[in-house]
A and B are shown apart, each in its own frame.
Chain A
Amino acid sequence: MTAEAHAMTATAHAEPHAAAAGHSRGISNPILGMILFITSEVMFFSGLFAAYFATRAANQPWPPAAFKHILDPLGPIMLATILLITSSFTCQFAVWSIRKGDRKGYIRNISITFVLGIIFLIMQVYDYSLLFGEGMTLGSGPFGTTYFTLTGFHGAHVFGGVLMLGVVLYRGMAGQFSAKHHDAVEAVSLYWHFVDVVWILLFSILYLIP
């Protein structure tokens, strides 16, 4: 059987010494955990996106006549999009800084990211108030339901990301990160990029696809 085969052939003793270092090799636990968490988040948004496309296909014309021009890609939302994409870059600059041990550069970049995230949230609230003013709500048919659910859950994730950024900013200012020890920063930046990518997809399907 396989067991005997293993036992008989695996007589070389050199191997376990190489494997003994196995714990510290490769990706770290928190980063792997974050990647898996993002995987689950991707599946969560997949469910919502699937619902969006199914509902959209079943409800033509889309957008409905009452909300024909309500979602204007060139409005304030374009500015919010540019700010969020920029924040993804500054977040990555922060990661590169701390990888080199540059704490000042790290704090500067992560602060900018943090502020950009807050500005995005404020702009989203403002955008919602404009839409509410024109009578578009969660309850106004499939168009409103899908729009507010998708952007609302994305906004909630941005909010979560801003909280995480706040934590790594605070910890960075307390001097807890160095070129060697900054797993939390790497994990938060992965999450922030994910939030950014979701927004790019959302912006494309909600605003750009005719």
Chain B
Amino acid sequence: MATHALSPAVPAYRGGIYEWLTTTDHKKIGIMYVINSFVFFLIGGIFALLVRTELAQPGIQIFTNEHVYNESFSIHATVMIFLFIIPMLAGLGTYIVPLQIGAPDMAFPRINALSFWMLPLGGILLLAGFLTPGGAAAAGWTSYPPLTERGPLASPGPGQDLWIVALILIGTSSILGGINFLVTIFKMRAPGMTLFRMPIMVWTVLVTSVLVVMATPVITSALVMLFIDRNYGGSFFNFQTGGIPVLYQNVFWFYSHPAVYVMVLPAMGVISEVLPVFSRKPLFGYKAFIFATAGIGALGFSVWAHHMFTTGAVFLPFFALMTFMIAVPTGVKMFNWIFTMFRGQLTFSTPLIFAIGFLTMFLIGGINGAFSAAVPVDFALHDTYWVVAHLHYVLFGGSAFGVFAGIYYWFPKMTGRMLDETLGKVHFVLMFVGFNLTFFPMHMLGLAGMPRRIADYAGDAGWNDWNLVATIGGFIIGVSMLPFIWNVLVSLRGGKIAGDDPWEGNTLEWATSSPPPPYNFDRLPDIRSERPLFDQRHGLLSGGHGGGDHDDPAHDDAPKAIPAGGAAS
């Protein structure tokens, strides 16, 4: 497109280290988010493999004692949730959202940089717990008191305090990011980009940001109270001095359930970008999808206590009903996706394959989740491996597959080069097989009564075989990262040149060069629908003079200059 001729060659992904450390460009920051999150994904994965190795057979094998095992699964979960999934999706959003709405950058570029730099700092603080006497946090990623109260039998060391401080930092990063996204989306859209012409990815980031801004401060308050209890003799959760341990669970889950949607909605957005492009059809039910997203966001605030059914302290019928209800908008989305593909001209490129992986695995995760929404079933399944299976089907089978779909889809835009398709498919097959080998047996283990968070189990409990299968699957997932990393490293230098729009995309990020110039756009096509590039390609923009040279914007009267820097303030 015109961008090549007009903009000097400014590679967005090269430049000195100083430039990267000081950049406020949303594209560089987005790429740093993605790389940082992927590094923590590998770190969290190593902890997961340690846990799986320990559980491969009964007895204590690799850990010197159970406490180290507790640290491993606690840090695994904390890293995966707070330093991989949430920031990875935030990073994709940081890169893509301004491009998709035709903006030159985020609304607050320096706050954007601040949001990013809090993440590695938080991660280092979290992992620094291993260097302290008593080790890192070991009370699970939920860190319920009284396990986390300071005491010889609970969590005496500073590792738990580092966990708290790290999470407050990461949470603050999320809040600032959420505010930034909302202002960007509400105030920086290109002319013609009405709310109902925004790409679905932008809509999901919008709803996610509302959840982040409204829910994350609540966990900050929980963490602050826990910190006061541990360090200043407070009595919020300490039942010996009149505190209420269940109060922590309420405040914690008031954030952490909406956080589940923070972890999955942008991945749904990625899928909703990928499926139409590779089916060569518009998204089926664009508005229904948006309302379903908003519905999930709203209902997401009324289901937190389904994590606490067995405490006996919550109103069971209400939370069970709301939990079943939230499956309805999710089901609407499944129909959107399936009927987008139905009778489409499917091109089975890697992004689409990962998107289909998301659909199938998320469906299983939704169904086994609905089982545990039923109160009597949940009483039997609570804190068993069934729950571990459920959450991994949603967060790994769902979000992580969506993340990889997004990386394969936008890598050409970020770097200007294509990823290798064969290696991508090898990556998918290994990850898909490994994932199901790891987590499907956990359903059986859960039904057989195996509790989560145990380091050892009796050899005659009947859990040996499935645990071994799960461990083998875990290592296959680990191996599946190798072709991916190799693919990225090789493609960065020798990959096929992508061009502006390798996938024939629908949304504005494909209207600029790959990688885009620092200011994103020289010119924008007119925006008349949620698929401005489709309209341009097919000459639908200027009152149906469809016969023209569809790829040459110079012959199209539609494109017009955007006000240069008009949105920056």
What is the distance, in angstroms, from A46's C-beta to the closest C-beta of chain B? 7
Min CB distance B301 to A, Å, is 11
Q: Which of A6, A7, A22, A46 contacts B189 (CB 8 A)?
A: A22
Q: How far is the CB of A62 from chain B (nearest CB, A)?
A: 10
Q: How far is the CA of A43 from the CA of B220 in the complex (A)?
A: 10
Stretch at the interface among B71-79, B157-165, B235-243, B495-503: B235-243
Kindly state the separation between the CA atoms of A27 and B416 in the bound complex, as whole angstroms.
37
Q: Which residue of A lies closest to B186 (CB)?
A: A32
| Nearest CB of A to B142, in Å | 16
**When the two chains form the complex, which single residue of A7, A44, A50, A138 contacts B220, counting CB atoms closer than 8 Å?**
A44
Residues 275-315 of B contacting A (Cβ, < 8 Å): 281-282, 284-287
The segment from A52-60, A83-91, A113-121, A122-130 found at the interface with B is A52-60
Q: Establish whether residues B242 and A55, one from each chain, have CB atoms under 8 Å apart when the complex forms.
A: yes
Which of A8, A27, A142 makes the CB contact (< 8 A) with B235? A142
B183→A3 contact, CB < 8 A: no
Within 8 A of B (CB), among A125-157: 137-139, 141-142, 145-146, 149, 153
Whether B286 contacts A141 by the Cβ 8 Å rule is: no
Total number of A-B contacts with CB less than 8 angstroms?
162
Asked if B108 CB lies within 8 Å of chain A CBs, one says yes
Which of B9-17, B87-95, B345-353, B561-569 forms part of the interface with chain A? B561-569
Report B378-416 CB contacts with A as 1/0, cut-off 8 Å: 000000000000000000000000000000000000000
- Smallest CB–CB gap between A16 and chain B, Å? 5
A39 in contact (CB, < 8 A):
yes
Chain A residues within 8 Å of B560, by CB? 16
Question: Is the pair B225, A44 in contact by a Cβ cutoff of 8 Å?
Answer: no
Q: Are A2 and B183 in contact (CB under 8 A)?
A: no
A1 within 8 A of B: yes
Query: In the complex the two chains form, is B192's CB within 8 Å of A1's CB?
Result: no
User: Is A174 interfacial (CB-CB < 8 Å)?
Assistant: no
Closest to A19 in B: B191
Q: Are A29 and B183 closer than 8 Å at their CB atoms?
A: yes
Q: In the assembled complex, how far is the CB of residue B252 from the closest CB belonging to chain A, in whole angstroms?
A: 10
Contact B228 A33 (CB under 8 A): no
Q: Chain B: interface residue count, which band?
A: 35 or more
Q: Could you tell me if B191 and A7 are in contact, using CB atoms closer than 8 angstroms?
A: no
- Among B217, B251, B527, B567, which residue has the most Cβ atoms of chain A within 10 A? B217
Shortest Cβ gap from A43 to chain B (Å): 4
In the complex, are the beta carbons of B217 and A41 less than 8 A apart? yes
Name the B residues within 8 Å of A19 (CB-CB): 191-192, 194
Q: In whole angstroms, what is the CA distance A23 to B192 when docked?
A: 11
Majority secondary structure of chain A interface residues (helix, strand, loop or mixed): helix
Central interface residue in B186, B219, B221, B543, by most chain A CB within 10 Å: B221
The reply on B179 being an interface residue by CB < 8 A is yes
Q: How far is the CB of B177 from chain A (nearest CB, A)?
A: 11
Interface residues of B in 156-193 (CB under 8 A from A): 175, 178-180, 182-183, 186-189, 191-192
A33 and B219 CA atoms in complex are apart in Å by 21
Question: A2-B287, A3-B531 are contacts. A29–B213 as well, Cβ < 8 Å?
Answer: no
Instruction: Judge if A51 is at the interface, Cβ distance under 8 Å.
Output: yes
Verify if B233 is at the interface (C-beta below 8 Å from A): yes
**Which of chain A's residues have a CB closer than 8 A to the CB of B281?**
1
B217 touches A47 (CB 8 A): yes
Evaluate contact between A47 and B222: CB separation under 8 angstroms.
yes
Alpha-carbon gap, A126 to B235, bound state (A): 24
Instruction: Find out whether the CB atom of B232 lies under 8 angstroms from the CB atom of A44.
Output: no
> Which residues of A, 18-32, contact B by the 8 Å Cβ criterion?
19-20, 22-24, 26-30, 32
A51-B529 in contact given A29-B107, A37-B179, A139-B234 (Cβ < 8 Å)? no
- Would B191 and A16 count as touching, CB distance under 8 A? yes
Residues B282 and A3 in contact, CB atoms below 8 Å apart: yes
Encode contact with A along B227-269: 1 for CB under 8 Å, 0 otherwise: 0110011111000011110010011001000000000000000
A36: interface (CB < 8 Å): yes
- Give B145 Cβ to nearest chain A Cβ, in Å: 12
Residues of A within 8 A of B216 (CB): 40, 43
User: In the complex, what residues of A have CB within 8 A of residue B219's CB?
Assistant: 47
- A51 CA to B218 CA in the complex, in Å? 11
B46 within 8 A of A: no
In angstroms, Cα B103 to Cα A29, docked, is: 14
With CB as the reference atom, state the residue of chain B lying closest to A153. B224
Residues of B near A50 (CB, < 8 A) are 247, 250-251
- Report the separation of the CA atoms of residues A37 and B567 in the bound assembly, to the nearest whole angstrom: 20
Chain B residue nearest in CB terms to A43? B217
Nearest CB of chain B from residue A4's CB, rounded to whole Å: 8
Residues on the A chain within 8 Å of B180, using CB: 33
Q: Which of A38-82 contact B (CB under 8 A)?
A: 39-41, 43-48, 50-51, 54-55, 58-59
Q: Taking A7-B535, A36-B178, A149-B228 as given, write out 6 further A-B residue pairs in contact, using a Cβ cutoff of 8 Å, ordered by the A residue number.
A: A33-B107, A40-B214, A55-B236, A58-B244, A142-B236, A146-B236
What are 6 A-B residue pairs whose CB atoms fall within 8 Å in the complex? Answer: A1-B282, A2-B282, A51-B236, A51-B251, A55-B235, A139-B234
A interface residue numbers (CB < 8 A to B): 1-4, 6-8, 10-11, 15-16, 19-20, 22-24, 26-30, 32-33, 36-37, 39-41, 43-48, 50-51, 54-55, 58-59, 137-139, 141-142, 145-146, 149, 153
Question: Which 4 pairs between the two chains have the least Cβ-Cβ distance?
Answer: A47-B221, A139-B233, A6-B529, A44-B217
